[in-house]
Amino acid sequence: MGAVEVNGYTIEPGAQLAGANFFEADLNGANLTSANLAWTELTKSDLEGADLEGANLEEADLEAARLVEANLCKACLDGADLSRANLTRANLELASFESAFLTEANLTGANLTGVNLTGARLRDAYLSKADLTGANLTSAKLAGANLSGTDLTGAILARANLYSVDLTGANLTGANLSGVRLGANLYGADLTGANLYRADLSWTRLEGAKLAGADLSGADLSGADLTHADIEGANLTRAICDTKTLWPDGFSLKSADVYQICSGSDLPGAKLAGANLHSVDLAGANLTYADLFGANLTYADLSGANLTGTDLTDADLSGANLTSANLSGADLTGVNFRLADLSGANLTGVGLSKVSLRRAKADRDTLWPEGFDPVAAGVTFTEHDSHAIEEQREPLPISVPPFVHRFSDWPIDIPAVPGAYAIWRGEILVYAGEAGKNWTAERPGSGHLKGRLSDHANAQRADVFPTYVFERFVGRHLSDVDWLLIEAGERHMTEHAREFIRAELSFSFATTSDHKEALDWERRIRAGELGTKPLINPL
């Protein structure tokens, strides 16, 4: 196409078109090499086969635009909105999409070699069989994206969000996934030589994956499925797993220097500095002289654990269960014990001058350093009647994993009646709730089970649960760019919470005869009648 007029603008190489309006314009096959199209309105425009090599499309609006087989080699699309755009088989080699919006975009078979997607949003994008060799996806948001059969050889995915991503058959040879959080499907993926240092691979499907020579040191493999995976020569030093982790036949935890995190674990001298051990079960574990500097042990069960001489400097133990734990001689400098249960714990021989104990619980059996005043430090003392006999009641008719419903399957047929419910992350109970206030059969309103769970599934802003989710699970994983977008009002925290809820959480419920019974059942769940107390709202 030579120079032509569209909407009063001359379409030609090098054209100065910043801020122009090409809404739904026909630019099929246009030659706009090196053109300046910054801040241009190109929503629903047809740019199929267009040549935009070297063009400046910074912050352009290309929502739902058609860019099939377009040439965008070396183009700048930083901050551009390409949500729902069709980029099938487009040439995007060495282009820059830093902080761009590509939600639900179709990039099937596109050439993205060497592309810069730092901080880009690719939620639910379709990149099947795309070539992302050498691409930079640092801190990119890829929740729900389809990357099956994609070539990610040498790609950088450090700190990327890969919740529920489909990487079936993808090639990640030599890729850098350090610090990444997955929970994705990597069935049969090629991760030969990949850098997965301290990656969060918990509950990730790695069945049949090629991990030969990969660096998995310090990675979290809790609940991961590695059956039939090739891990020959992989570095698993100080990786962590649990009893739910599935390994290839013949694999030896001890010879690989992998730490199994579970009740009764024998981990003297373990090197777990900075590890994310949120809500883990380490009851009765031997962690003497272990290095837990800066570790996240929030709401962990360390009851009866031996932490003698352990380095817990700057560790977060808020909400942790430390009943009858032995912390004598441990380094507790900067530790946060807020809401932790220290009943019967031994804290003799430790320094507590730089420790936060506000609202921590203790009892008369807790042993303190000589001369220490726990009341002045904000500790709450609770004494329980060990002879109390609980009222005998029928067990709650609320199922536990795996007999639960996934929020990812929403909408689900839920009765519009009163009831109680439990929300789970894997096998961990996260939250207990009730519904049915002011409900009547004639005027059910919206406060019933169906309405309440719908609010949770969709992360309604008026609903408090998404806020709890964001604060507990999501906020600490956001990048600086994410926080800037939230502060600018361009992204709401509930959007991040919704992605997490749909990808990570499930629920079980039971209907009740009235709201009073629903309140009672919720209280019983919070008190631990499902075998554990919820992380967010325990009693």
Rg (CA), the chain: 27
pLDDT bucket at 446, cuts 50 / 70 / 90: low
d(CA 461, CA 411): 18
363-394 in b/e form (b: 16+ CB < 10 A) is beebebeeebebeebebeeeeeeeeeeeeeee
DSSP state of 477: G
Per-residue pLDDT, 385: 36
Q: What is the pLDDT of residues 116-145, one digit of tens each?
A: 999 999 989 999 999 999 999 998 988 889
**Which of 232, 277, 261, 171 lies closest to 216 in space, CA to CA?**
232
Q: What is the pLDDT of residues 4-58, one digit of tens each?
A: 889 999 999 999 999 999 999 999 999 999 999 999 999 999 999 999 999 999 9
Whether 289 shows a pLDDT value over 60: the answer reads: yes
d(CA 127, CA 151): 10
Task: Please compute the mean of the pLDDT values over residues 328-351 and round it to a whole number.
Answer: 94
> Which range is least confidently modeled, 101-115, 255-269, 325-339, 439-453?
439-453
Q: What is the pLDDT of residues 370-406, one digit of tens each?
A: 999 998 888 988 754 333 334 445 778 888 888 889 9
Per-residue pLDDT, 76: 97
Question: Residue 341 CA to chain centroid, in angstroms?
Answer: 27
Give the global pTM.
Answer: 0.59
Whether 337 shows a pLDDT value over 50: the answer reads: yes
Per-residue pLDDT, 302: 96
Q: What is the pLDDT of residues 414-428, one digit of tens each?
A: 888 999 999 999 889
- Output the six-digit token pair for 441: 């059969």
- Output the six-digit token pair for 510: 């039971």
Number of H helices, E strands in the chain: 6, 10
CA angle (322, 327, 330) in 5-degree steps: 135
**Long-range contact set of residues 307-315: C-beta below 8 Å, sequence gap at least 24:** 311/273
Domains and CATH numbers, the chain: 263-383 (2.160.20.80), 405-526 (no CATH)
Per-residue pLDDT, 397: 86
